[in-house]
Amino acid sequence: MILGTIPDMTPRHPPFTIAMVTISVMVYLLMNVINQHTIAAPLLISEYIKPMLPEIFGGQYWRLVTPMFLHFGVFHIVFNMLWTWELGRLIEWRQGMGILGLLTLTVSVVSNLAQYFVSGPLFGGMSGVIYGYFGYVWIQSLTNPGFGIRLNPVIVKLMLGWFLICWSGILEKLLGLSVANTAHTAGLLSGMAIALLVSGVVRITAKLH
């Protein structure tokens, strides 16, 4: 159980989180019904390594965000959507759709750019954003008493353990899975940094009142 609160208090219909899951599932289904490249191509951060990000510099700014909607297998989409739902709705419940939207946008851009500069444009998935959500909730729960949620220590160990397993390369060696580890790292660090910033603002506001 993620929450440190009563389950009945959890939000029933968090609109932003529902939209994130819905878009991701729709894109995944379309990729499996229509030609995969037709759907994925305009959602990738770019189709080129060189020149660098020509589509974005040409005005296709959505590409900085849309790789998070691309998933390439049943396990990939199910795993990511479960964590998007669990963590996204907590943030939306406690701090609103605006905070979750800004967090998602910032973490997505940071993690996608970081992964692009390390491995090129052929990647996708919500996992960088999920680690941003995790880092945000984790640090908010430790630094902002008004947040009202404390992550179960088992969840913290699970997320950090999976993070290290992915970096170890064992999934690629045993299962042939290519993992966007740089996106995970950039997402986690940016989510933690934003949480510290928000907690600082909360403390300053509280003192002013």
Dist CA 93 CA 95 (whole Å): 6
The per-type count for the chain, helices as H runs and strands as E runs, is 8, 0
Peptide bond just before 51 cis, omega within 30 deg: yes
pLDDT tens profile 129-143: 999 999 999 999 999
- Positions marked active-site: 127, 184
pLDDT tens profile 16-71: 999 999 999 999 999 999 988 899 999 999 999 989 999 999 999 999 999 999 99
Q: Domain coordinates of the chain in residue numbers?
A: 7-208
pLDDT tens profile 96-155: 999 999 999 999 999 999 999 999 999 999 999 999 999 999 999 999 888 888 889 999
Which of left, alpha, beta for 166 (phi over 0: left; psi -120 to 50: alpha)?
alpha
CATH number of this structure's domain 7-208: 1.20.1540.10
pTM for this model (two decimals): 0.90
